Structure 1
């Protein structure tokens, strides 16, 4: 069985897909992984031993270009910009996936809606089995949660019935993505689809997040199969300099915002807040390219390191609320301070607070004072105890569960 896995996004989108590919190969499937060809993602694929088919452009280049375009647009044009970006992803990634799908029996599309649409079209053209996977419950229609609100398409005021709001979500996705998808279908000689959301989602869908952190409550609006998070094992040793720093004093606070290009002031505020608590700091440069604020010996800067190993040795993890970082910290039993920025990050911040394993920062712009206040919760002894309890509930076999399920599903006639 040959399976194509596809996503277009940052580390939080790519690493789970690579983890799934590794598990599928362990079950005897032949796997191709189409993800952005950035150096760090190529290294992930090499580590897992899966074949990389680079997507249409490195995602760091793409994000920089989209950020530049967005800065030149007025707020009222953001919705049009989103539609244009989706159309460009579809047009450019379609050809990549058509070539990558040669000889494949099935395709698994992961991540955000625009990156899944070309995979859905290719599956139809290649007569392949298709399934979509997502990494957070909020993206799936459910009577238990509200839809994500897109720029230029606010949810109707005063409506509390989630079923009605998910009907609105159909209209929103048609408005944002319908023209791109149906124009492409027309170019292939195919009729338009009236509901692009359900066309791209398909049925069933996979939910690749941990049930302890982001439980799926059954709903007749979506047939979702929750597998647990897809975690790629990391056996890399920590760099010698980091090891020496960790050994030289008490557990530090980790500060990192992943692929979110937060302002440099956020890094400075974090270091100041951690120092105010008498703690040391490990700061991850990330896509924001955060740097040390001085040459004092209570801070250490890192690039791409083994979070699975590092998080077991820190006092707390301050981060942006990406699904991958949230589950990594939770598995390690590390208390969290989440400063959510976009997308599903407010959801993960809320869940961290609800579970008692950390604090959710109020808003996306931190100050030394606001972070210091939130750290009172994150560094409290009871938060450490609760984090250790929840760590025992987080499963590590989500990718294996998903791989077995997919082999079973795709093996049916």
Structure 2
């Protein structure tokens, strides 16, 4: 079986595909991954022996560019065109295509699978893009919903119109060049009738809806056997467990201020600080030996050795911290991150910070709560319920799909 895993997005969109790729190869499949050409993605995939087919511009550069919302249709058109060009070549000879990441990129990849007549499945790593009558959709930048509209079904209709306005013309232009019919509803085309939700049911329970047959596989994580760097181990061994702070792929415009606030708030709790540089390039604020800065590291091993994790609320980081039993302070920056912050608070395993720019007082208050023995105990209880078989479930579903006769599209 030959499988193409296709995405465009940040580290949180790529890392789950690394995990699934490894599991598929263990089951005898040939796997390649289409993803942005960023060096850290290429290095990560090379480390597990999975070929990367680079597509589109650097995701890190695009994230840090601060482009205006008005440029979204143009950037989406470029992403879609890149998908048609690159994914078409990469998917030749494949039996199934897995599409995820930004919606316009997923729409392009699924169109390629349709053209080539191969099976495909649409996957999301957070449920907020799946239409559900019990909650509203996320608004796209520059396209807020009318404040007087509160009916969720109406809001989902408005969301579909926004998606069509942003991505429909570019998608259908490329589809026409491939001899494919136009898509009337881009969002419904990407979601399909049976999308996969690759999140943990304890952390992210899916509530059944009448219009979607959602397959929740569990989160796609890879057991990380990489040793922690020697200098990091030395810092961890030199004192009490530190508080980790990092914002992953978030650019954090005022990175210097964010680092200073975080370090001072951590010190105010009598704790040492461990700063994850991330795409924001967070750095230390002085030369004191109670702080340490770390780049790429094994979070599975690291989070098991810290007193708490302060982070942005990406799906991957939230899941890793939850599995490690580490209390969390989530400082959401955008998109689905407020949702993950709320889930952490609802489960009692940490604190949802109010707003994306923490002040010394607000972060100190959140840390005081997160560092209590009660939260630590609860975090360990929830950690024991988190599943570890997500990639196995997904890989076996793909194997079954290829073995079945019938329509090419699963999602």
Give the TM-score normalised by structure 2: 0.95
Q: In the alignment, which residue of structure 1 is the partner of 2:308?
A: 316
Aligned match for 1:296, one of 285, 288, 291: 288
Q: In the alignment, which residue of structure 2 is the partner of 1:237?
A: 227
Root-mean-square deviation (CA, aligned residues, Å) is 1.3
1:2-401 correspondence runs (5 A): 2-64=2-64, 66-67=65-66, 69-70=67-68, 78=69, 80-262=70-252, 263=254, 264-401=256-393
1:329-362, Cα deviation, whole Å (9 max, x unpaired): 0000000000000111010001000100000110
Q: Distance in 1 between matches of 2:284 and 2:169?
A: 46
The alpha-carbon deviation at position 6 of structure 1 amounts to 0.5
Q: Distance in 1 between matches of 2:168 and 2:37?
A: 28
2:54 counterpart SS class: coil
Give the TM-score normalised by structure 1: 0.95
Q: Distance in 2 between matches of 1:248 and 1:191?
A: 63
Q: Distance in 1 between matches of 2:336 and 2:268?
A: 30
2:193 counterpart SS class: coil
1:157-211, Cα deviation, whole Å (9 max, x unpaired): 3444323322222112111111111121222333322111111222311101111
Structure 1 residues 166 and 221 mapped into 2: Cα distance closer, same or farther (>3 Å)? farther
Structure 1 unmatched runs, 5+:
71-77
1:117-145, Cα deviation, whole Å (9 max, x unpaired): 11011111111111110001111111222
Q: Distance in 2 between matches of 1:186 and 1:126?
A: 14
Q: Distance in 2 between matches of 1:16 and 1:85?
A: 24
Asked if 2 retains the 8 angstrom alpha-carbon contact of 1:93 and 1:118, the reply is yes
Asked if 1 retains the 8 angstrom alpha-carbon contact of 2:104 and 2:171, the reply is no
Give the number of aligned pairs.
403
1:301 counterpart SS class: strand
Q: Distance in 2 between matches of 1:112 and 1:192?
A: 20
Q: Distance in 1 between matches of 2:286 and 2:3?
A: 49
Q: Distance in 1 between matches of 2:40 and 2:370?
A: 30
1:7-26, Cα deviation, whole Å (9 max, x unpaired): 11111110101111111112
Q: Distance in 2 between matches of 1:56 and 1:155?
A: 30
Structure 2 unmatched runs, 5+:
406-411
Asked if 1 retains the 8 angstrom alpha-carbon contact of 2:63 and 2:251, the reply is no
2:164 counterpart SS class: helix
Asked if 2 retains the 8 angstrom alpha-carbon contact of 1:131 and 1:201, the reply is no
Q: Distance in 2 between matches of 1:391 and 1:265?
A: 32
Q: Distance in 2 between matches of 1:165 and 1:124?
A: 29
Q: Distance in 2 between matches of 1:313 and 1:189?
A: 55
Asked if 1 retains the 8 angstrom alpha-carbon contact of 2:311 and 2:317, the reply is yes
The alpha-carbon deviation at position 32 of structure 1 amounts to 1.1
Asked if 1 retains the 8 angstrom alpha-carbon contact of 2:202 and 2:386, the reply is yes
The alpha-carbon deviation at position 154 of structure 1 amounts to 2.4
Give the ranges of 4+ consecutive aligned residues of structure 1 lying more than 6 Å apart after TM superposition. Answer: none
Asked if 2 retains the 8 angstrom alpha-carbon contact of 1:143 and 1:221, the reply is no
Asked if 2 retains the 8 angstrom alpha-carbon contact of 1:336 and 1:378, the reply is yes
The alpha-carbon deviation at position 381 of structure 1 amounts to 1.0
